[in-house]
Amino acid sequence: MVYDLIVIGAGPGGYVGAERAGHAGLSALLIEKRALGGVCLNEGCIPSKTLLNSAKIADYAKNGNQYGVSAENVKLDHTAVINRKNKAVRTLVAGVSMKMKNNGVTVVNGEAVITGRSTEGYQVKVDATVYTGKRLMIATGSEPAMPAIPGLKEGYAYGFVLTNREILDLKTLPEKLVIIGGGVIGLEMASYFNSAGCKVTVVEMLDHIAGPTDREISSILYNNYKKAGVDFKLSAKVTEITSDSVVFETSEGVQTVAADKVLVSIGRKPKIEGLGLENIHVQTERGRIVTDEHMQTNIPEVYAVGDVNGVSMLAHTAYREAEVCINTILGQKDRMRYHAIPSVIYTNPEVGSVGETEESAKEKGLEFDIVKLPLAYSGRYVAETSRGDGIIKVLIHRKYRTLLGVHIIGSYASEIIYGAAMMIETEMRVEDIRQIVFPHPTVGEVIREAMWEL
């Protein structure tokens, strides 16, 4: 048979694409070489959130006396945490499998290679079987970038150096964990392992953590984790990984930090090798597949969604890209917009951001005003948080009075930020937002509050 669509990769991009295709009545084949759900479900977003939730509960219990609650001998049982994580992952993977079934998607387990094109469509080989599809959706995701640091490859081979995949399955807690890269993965893992009682050191190349996050927000996060005991080595260049340490260089000279395990989290790169893209001449650029706003590659019937196109490496971006792709196939008008995609760092406190940061807005020469409020403007925040230093920072277009960016650090930031994304996406003005009734008491009310500070 000739499928309407062959989807390669069953992460958030691929499985949502297959699901929407099936829902619309297209015949869809989904090929996955590992597990349904991809990195997000099996070794990324979901497993890390189960770990971080346990860490948060432990931290609350340890600091319970601030809230009038006392608990003794609070311990985080790492084995139990990992078991619970595995259960959550199994439940969600089963859920994806069920969705595929309910939408008539055929699922094949194996590694796909695009072998060519015939008059009927594109050919994709899995083991000895060749499948044909009128269209292809490439959703193969990304893999950890591994820098060429002496000793890193060797350390990875014998389990001393880990990536996000292995660290989420560690059987025992390392006493000393060194994290190379203070970005999203590095910080989330620093958060868990620090709460679990490990000595955590983060070695970061830049002079700040959390990469493109608004600087003011990332420095609050930095101070929180420094206070909590995480050791940061900034502006540091890792020069070697030995069998029990990480060697790095700063302006103060060469230093060594002892490690039982090393996590490498310096970014991810799109997974395109071995896929056979050259067999149908799909255009790539600096290791990613080039796509337009309809998720089409240089070949109109070949689409690429999610991390593999390297535009915005986030699961929720992939969901939406997959939908844009299917709508385009169905002839419905749709296009991908990237300016209002929220991002979250699930540390404690959480960070939620959307739109321009102060730095990026300045760089673009935008004219804007800034409103900044402590989250203590929210009654719920005060009621629930002891000594919290959370803030909300809103960037407002000086002429149009629309929101350019919203940045929140503090409790519930992850759950609040989509509201701000909607305001940016729909181009609401300050005056429009003032007319919205927010539930009280909530932390999210600070957005409304901020609109009256202008």
Look at residues 45, 84, 82 and name the one whose alpha carbon lies nearest to residue 346.
45
| Annotated catalytic residue, options 208, 316, 397, 440 | 440
d(CA 407, CA 393): 5
* Only segment of 65-73, 92-100, 175-183, 426-434 that touches ligand NAI (CB under 6 A): 175-183
**CB 249, min distance to ligand NAI, A:** 11
Look at residues 346, 347, 341, 453 and name the one whose alpha carbon lies nearest to residue 406.
341
Catalytic residue at 316?
Answer: no
Look at residues 414, 87, 113, 120 and name the one whose alpha carbon lies nearest to residue 279.
113
Phi then psi dihedrals of residue 256, to 5 deg: -130, 135
* Only segment of 14-22, 201-209, 286-294, 401-409 that touches ligand NAI (CB under 6 A): 201-209
Site string for ligand NAI, 202-241 (x = CB under 6 A): -xxxx----x--------------------------x---
Q: Tell whether residue 185 is a contact of ligand NAI (CB under 6 A).
A: yes
**CB 129, min distance to ligand NAI, A:** 33
Comparing CB distances to ligand NAI, the nearer of 224 and 265 is: 265
d(CA 300, CA 54): 46
**CB 343, min distance to ligand NAI, A:** 6
Q: Tell whether residue 152 is a contact of ligand NAI (CB under 6 A).
A: no
Q: Which residues contact 404 (CB under 8 A, 6 or more apart)?
A: 355, 356, 361, 366, 368, 395, 396, 397, 424
Q: Angle at which helices 78-102 and 12-23 pack, to 10 degrees?
A: 30
Say which residue the tokens 């790492």 belong to: 78
Q: Tell whether residue 180 is a contact of ligand NAI (CB under 6 A).
A: yes
**CB 239, min distance to ligand NAI, A:** 10
- Cβ atoms within 10 Å of 197's Cβ, excluding its own: 14
Number of residues interacting with ligand NAI: please give it, by CB under 6 A.
Answer: 25
d(CA 321, CA 139): 10
Instruction: Give the residue, chosen from 343, 348, 357, 402, that forms a contact with ligand NAI under the rule CB under 6 A.
Output: 343
Q: Tell whether residue 353 is a contact of ligand NAI (CB under 6 A).
A: no
Binding site for ligand NAI (CB under 6 A): 147, 180-186, 188, 203-206, 211, 238, 265-268, 313-314, 343-346
- Report the catalytic residues: 440
